[in-house]
């Protein structure tokens, strides 16, 4: 005689395969290395660094219009923006539960 429990029905509803152990269902966002925002961030930081390196005083002793200090400032702004974007992406996605839990 075969018996089915309520948790196996819950697993079927969630699309999980029952393996005899408690499955963990999570609505977690993708890892940061799999998102385009990481690649855009890296490209933007490299663009700022290269621009700061290329734009200079041309060896004539004139004022540097885009100094290393400016580059660091913009890289800091990019970093803050990236952290905010990741935080917003993960906001509300921390809802995880065991597959057997009924809510």
Q: Please give the C-alpha separations between residue 60 and each of 12, 57, 72, in angstroms, as whole numbers.
A: 73, 6, 23
Best CA proximity match to 35, nearest among 79, 101, 90, 74: 90
Q: Considering only CA atoms, which of 100, 103, 94, 102 is closest in space to residue 22?
A: 100
- pLDDT per position as a tens digit, 54-88: 887 666 767 778 888 999 999 999 999 999 988 88
Q: Where are the domains of the chain?
A: 6-98
Per-residue pLDDT at 47: 95
In the prediction, which pLDDT does 77 show? 96
| Higher-confidence position of 22 and 91 | 91
Query: Does the global pTM surpass 0.85?
Result: no
Q: Work out the mean pLDDT of the chain and round it to a whole number.
A: 74
């Amino acid at each position: 005689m075969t018996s089915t429990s309520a948790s196996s029905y819950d697993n079927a509803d969630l699309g999980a395969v029952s393996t005899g152990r408690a499955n963990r269902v999570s609505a977690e966002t993708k890892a940061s290395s799999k998102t385009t925002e990481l690649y855009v961030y890296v490209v933007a930081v490299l663009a700022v660094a290269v621009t700061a390196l290329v734009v200079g005083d041309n060896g004539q002793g004139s004022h540097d219009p885009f100094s290393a200090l400016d580059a660091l400032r913009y890289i800091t702004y990019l970093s803050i923006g990236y952290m905010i974007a990741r935080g917003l992406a993960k906001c509300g996605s921390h809802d995880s539960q065991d597959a057997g839990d009924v809510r």
